[in-house]
Structure 1
């Protein structure tokens, strides 16, 4: 599905701004859900791919024992080499170890040498936009888009700068477990509320997606549903998951209500000539670019249910 962002052009003749909506390649088809699977568990890869998630992320970082990093790396890249590139099924992501670690550097070298093509690459513990620029320089030709995991206080402070790294950066993702530990905060809604708000604002300011941390209480599906609705209300694009049973709950939370869908369809149809070129009156109210973007997103989400 296309995603949209605001491109502000100043007229050379006056000080009036015209707002246009354009597509941005790295933001196309924003995932509602991303399912993590351990890089140690090759036997679980097929199950993860069949779970219904929009994106499956094979994890070489936290989900792999330090003594089994080499084995996991070789197995994962070997498996990825054998996967056909198709337009159906979930997209595939790979989470590396941090670039400031020896294992992270080994991951990068192995990825480049393998020639494997990835839809997304997740880079953990990003604290500076230079991290994004480095990985894009080393392996950019093999990566569709990059998601920066923001999981330290310094990362939160620098989130806006990181979001403007450019290139193939497509998303900022909250790393709640590590962040809450460093903050001395609870790993829950209240403890991470401020960080979530700051990350969404940084992502929106930069025109990239915002992804939320997984809900780690696997058995609490009602809690997952409530949290997903809350992060959507904050402006997040994607809720990540650590168990296949969480995917259906996440997607249900994304489904628009009939009233919201009716409103969105009518508004999209009312856009003059189908292309937004400036604010206009609709049913007595002024409609601007963010409102059109919201309506289009609701319509696209309804098609995925």
Structure 2
């Protein structure tokens, strides 16, 4: 996909400059937002709620998840799709006791139900904070949804998810397709059904790495796939820790009981925050070269990582205090 198809951030936006492009995206902008004092909510965890079960909306918020996703797709039977579109009510406009993001998962825009979903959005009094686009196979899908929605809601976030081989092959282009994208997701269950693989860490490590690299290039955050063994908290903890070490910034939950474990895994530890603070304090804006902190050699990439750690910790703290 040619870069000329990007949606411009303004008349002077240099869409051929990767550094400027990344600076407008969530993963990089977090540091700048911290300096400006405007902190976006964290995106460590997300929990799906069927749109046909509005009685569960408040329960989902109470779990402590960073993102509640009202689902018009997989969680809704085909004969209930029309009902689901009418069941959201005032959820996206109702005040909440804490800071969180409220997204909506539509059906694939390649399908008739997805087109009906997009049409229904224009009948809603309040749009969600973001739109999850499932089973994305090409950048054109993301760009199309963006061009439909952003003229009417410039700040709406897009969350494309890759779930099959075609989507994985187009990851980089999908992540870069629209400046409305703030996070990309990986859905492994459909992928392993297609490839004949399994859900083990080793089997999916290559694909996970591709998701992280695409997110890093685009400057957006990335959410790992669900862990389907609901009763295995130790297994979830291990997988979430590995996902964070690879570069994921959050993970999807398949059950409310998983939220606390996921939030903990994707939050900086006290030791990480303390070390990051030492790194920042030991360097200045005009710092050049290297310095030692706790016996470790510190240079510019480590400083950037330290600032990101502090910004992430502040995002979490800020959300918890609201």
Q: Please, what TM-score do these two structures have when normalized by structure 2? A: 0.80
Q: Which residue of 2 aligns with 1:298?
A: 309
How far 1:244 sits from its partner (Å)? 1.5
For residues 86-120 of structure 1, give each alpha carbon's deviation from its aligned partner in whole angstroms, at most 9, with x where no partner exists.
69432100000000111100000001222422212
Aligned positions of 1:94-173 closer than 5 A: 94-140=104-150, 141-142=152-153, 144-173=156-185
Q: Give the corresponding residue for 1:42.
A: 54
- RCO higher in 1 or 2 (8 Å CA, sep ≥ 6)? 2
Q: How does 1:58-77 map to 2 (within 5 A)?
A: 58-76=70-88
Whether contact under 8 Å (2:161, 2:185) holds in the other structure is yes
Deviations 1:130-172 (A, max 9, x none): 1111111111233521111011101111101111113201111
Compared CA separation, residues 251 and 260, structure 1 to 2 (3 A): same
| 2:13 counterpart residue number | none
- Cα-Cα RMSD: 2.4
1:90 equivalent in structure 2: 100
Are 1:281 and 2:290 matched, yes or no? yes
Shift of residue 206 of structure 1? 1.3
Contact 1:36 1:242 in 2 (8 A): yes
1:55 aligned partner: 67
Q: SS at the partner of 2:255?
A: coil
Q: In the alignment, is the contact (CA less than 8 A) between 1:34 and 1:239 conserved in 2? A: yes
How do 1:177-196 residues align onto structure 2 when only pairs under 5 Å count? 177-196=189-208
Shift in CA distance, 179/110, structure 1 to aligned 2, threshold 3 Å: same
Cα pair 1:30 1:237 within 8 Å, conserved:
no
Q: Distance in 2 between matches of 1:118 and 1:30?
A: 16
In structure 2, the CA distance between the partners of 1:265 and 1:286, relative to structure 1 (3 Å rule), is: closer
Distance 1:223 1:136 in 2: 37
**Equivalent position of 2:187 in the other structure:** 175
Name the counterpart of 2:44.
Answer: 32
Equivalent in the alignment of 1:12: none
Deviation at 1:258, TM superposition (A): 3.7
CA shift in 2, pair 1:57/1:271, >3 Å: farther
Distance (Å, rounded) in 2 between the aligned partners of 1:165 and 1:49: 31
Gaps of 5+ in 2: 1-16, 21-27, 34-38, 318-322
Gaps of 5+ in 1: 1-5, 10-20
SS at match of 1:168: coil
Q: Which has the higher strand share?
A: 1
Distance 1:161 1:106 in 2: 26
> Could you state the TM-score of these two structures normalised by the residue count of structure 1?
0.84
Q: Do 1:268 and 1:292's aligned partners in 2 also have CA atoms closer than 8 Å?
A: yes
Query: Residues 258 and 35 (structure 1 numbering): CA distance in 2 closer, same or farther, change over 3 Å?
Result: same
Is the 2:277–2:310 contact (alpha carbons within 8 Å) kept by the matching residues of 1?
yes
Change (3 A) 1:51 1:80: same
Residue 16 of structure 1 corresponds to which residue in structure 2? none
Shift of 1:60: 0.8
